[in-house]
Amino acid sequence: MSKGNLGLLRGTLDLLILNALSTGEKHGYAVSEWIETVSDGSLLVEEGTLYPALHRLERRRLIEATWGVSENNRRAKYYALTATGWEQHATEAETWRRYSAAVEKTLSEGSAG
């Protein structure tokens, strides 16, 4: 993992995808672009990781997909949150905030080494 790319901590990809879709319906590539842009390039989601995660979230009925045409006039699958997906997003976001705050607190108490 390079200094510029933080990688993805296990279990965070689903939350990142749900969060990206909370801003509106997107096709897969746009989800990946959104995550990279919002994280200032620190989080990169590779195609081989993204699409299995989208399919997993679709099987869990947290997102739904419809076919449409992308901005470059190509057929694309667009993903959107379901009602259950919105609930899951809220729950996971709150859990992540608590976890992140706890880790930050322990780091601030440690030595800068």
pLDDT tens digits, 49-61: 999 999 999 999 9
Q: Is the pLDDT of residue 80 over 50?
A: yes
Q: What average pLDDT does the segment 3-9 reach?
A: 56
Q: Is the pLDDT of residue 75 over 80?
A: yes
pTM of the model: 0.87
Angle ∠(58,26,100) on CA atoms, nearest 5 = 75
Q: For residue 9, what pLDDT is reported?
A: 65
Using the 8-state DSSP alphabet, how is residue 3 labeled? S
- Token pair belonging to 63: 């997102």
Mean pLDDT for all residues in the chain:
90
Q: Is the pLDDT of residue 97 over 70?
A: yes
> Strand 63-69's sheet: what is its strand order?
26-27, 75-81, 63-69
Q: For residue 71, what pLDDT is reported?
A: 87
Which numeric CATH code is attached to 13-107?
Answer: 1.10.10.10
